[in-house]
Amino acid sequence: MASRAMKKAPERETRPRRGSAPKPRAAFLRRAASGPRLEHRRRVLLLYAPSSQPPRNYAYGLGLIAAVLTRAGHRVDFVDGYFTTPRELDQRLRAATYDVIGLSGVITTYAWQRAAARAARRAQPGAAIVSGGGLASAVPVELLELIPELDACFVGEGERSAAEFLERRDGDWSAVKGIVWRDGPHLRTNLPAEFIQDLDGLPDPDTTLLAIERYFFDPPSQDGAGHAVERRLQTQLARGCPFQCDFCANSFLRKQVRRRSDEHVLAEIGRAVEHFGVNTVLFVDDSFILRHDDTLRFVTELGRRRWDLKWGVAARVRGVSPELLAAMRSAGCRGIAFGFDSFHPETLRRMGKHTSPEDNIRAFQLCVEAGIPPISNLIIGYDNETEEHLEEDFRQLERLIAWGRSLASPEQRRLCAQGVRSFRPINFATPYPGTALYQRNRHRLPSLEEWLLLFSGRNMNELLVNISQLPDEVLVEHHRRLLDLVSRCTL
């Protein structure tokens, strides 16, 4: 939905919902017209909305936004909802006078963002309140209709749009690309922002502002592959994904792939090792292995740095090869997260995966043989699925377990068992707003706001809605059987 909306003409208007009259921005406009305040041009407060997952990593994207705005001369403060109670948030909102308050969060953070926007408007009646990230990008028009306290939503990459937004001193945001905004009684959808091509031109995330030390675990926790995590850096080699899985909540942010230079990424990692003692790196690329030879070159150079790092990535099952996996293992890779998603060819086609069950099996086995734990994922209850489809998932998992038992190496048997257990938790298919899966199944769902509230802060291993061809009790029983199979796996 979002991607289609952003392709329309910049003068599109949307009538707001009854009772959702926009809040006045007179105080913001007066401050904007008066020029810079104190030594900074604008004062900005960024709010990071917590999702259902624990805060293993700092807000990488919002840290980039903060660094870009700081470099442009603005004063930026930051609040992480993971570490902030509602009372503390209200205190922070009243601690200073802000020109702009920016919220950011994934699709499952609607309830928190709605409450935060209301608190922000009460505390800062003259501020411009905006939202960006996964939720705002998926349903920008609808979010402005549902949360009248919001003045604008940012769609897609926000670094350039955020800077341009703050440059507008008259409150007219019609020239700011990549936003949907409130213009009196109307909602206007601007032209889409161009993808940022020169990723090396972006600064490192502002780790000082993020108070990065609180994200380091003491005592260490474990990552998805079961390794101790003490001090983790989050970074990115490339942006974009050319694939369009129809359940993916971030599909509107993807498409064009752009890559940072190896030197730029390695320099960032080196600074984190030197300044923060980082010993673990998580690459947040949509798919780390899109260009095989480029990836091989990068991991080879990473291994030469001898930083003694553990690191993990997400990858497509068709991207791996024995040569690349050996190089990744030698350079410190200790986990590859694969979106296997299904072991039935019909369901994979329905999902738009462009992969096969044999691709899934091969990627799992190659990882184990290379000494890298596969971190596995499975989605059940897709809108085409019957018992036949779920039985095929069961058979293919049993096939992996039988293959693991045949391995001569105890270490490989251990990695196979670990990879099978990592299928937990098995997720139910969930139609996220903004996806093709949502569009196909809207007739089965409650209103958008009810749906956003239903899965706000929830994990997808709970059955929130059944879009499959099976009765609820049958689907839940298959979920229980699959969980039992993978949970008991020891080899």
Note whether 441 and 321 are same-domain residues. yes
Q: Within a domain: residue 207? A: no
d(CA 140, CA 5): 9
Note whether 222 and 158 are same-domain residues. no
pLDDT at position 256 is 85
Q: Within a domain: residue 209? A: no
Number of separate domains in the chain: 2
CATH of the domain at 167: 3.40.50.280
pLDDT at position 59 is 86
Q: Which residues, in sequence order, are bridge partners of residue 40?
A: 37
Q: Within a domain: residue 196? A: no
Report the 10 Å Cβ neighbour count for 164: 17
pLDDT at position 211 is 75
CATH of the domain at 435: 3.80.30.20
Q: Within a domain: residue 206? A: no
Spatial neighbors of 468 by CB under 8 A, at least 6 apart, are: 380, 381, 382, 383, 384, 385, 386, 429, 475
pLDDT at position 35 is 38
Note whether 177 and 314 are same-domain residues. no
Low-confidence residues of the chain, pLDDT below 70?
1-40, 53-56, 217-229, 251-254
Over the stretch 12-62, which tens digit does the pLDDT of each residue have? 455 444 344 444 443 444 333 333 334 458 999 999 999 876 666 778 899
Note whether 313 and 221 are same-domain residues. yes
Over the stretch 191-206, which tens digit does the pLDDT of each residue have? 999 999 999 999 999 9
pLDDT at position 30 is 35
Q: Within a domain: residue 130? A: yes
CB crowding 219-234: b at 16 or more within 10 Å, else e: eeeebbbeeebebbbb
Q: Within a domain: residue 194? A: no
> Which single residue is written with the structure tokens 């780390």?
288
Note whether 227 and 97 are same-domain residues. no
First to last CA, the chain: 46
Nearest in space to 256 (alpha carbons), one of 139, 157, 135: 157
Name the strand (E) or helix (H) holding 484.
Answer: helix 472-487
Note whether 24 and 160 are same-domain residues. yes
Note whether 230 and 353 are same-domain residues. yes
d(CA 283, CA 237): 7
Here the contacts of 357-366 (C-beta below 8 Å, separation 24 or greater) are 357/392, 357/396, 359/317, 359/318, 360/317, 360/396, 361/396, 361/399, 361/400, 362/317, 363/317, 363/318, 363/320, 363/338, 364/338, 364/340, 364/400, 364/419, 365/400, 365/403, 366/320, 366/321, 366/322, 366/325
Note whether 350 and 435 are same-domain residues. yes
d(CA 176, CA 377): 39
Note whether 376 and 250 are same-domain residues. yes
pLDDT at position 377 is 93
Q: Within a domain: residue 202? A: no
pLDDT at position 212 is 75
pLDDT at position 284 is 92
Of 189, 224, 258, the residue that ends a domain is: 189
Note whether 179 and 222 are same-domain residues. no
pLDDT at position 292 is 93
pLDDT at position 398 is 97
Q: Within a domain: residue 210? A: no
Q: Tell me which residue range forms the domain holding 158.
A: 2-189
Note whether 177 and 261 are same-domain residues. no
Note whether 20 and 161 are same-domain residues. yes
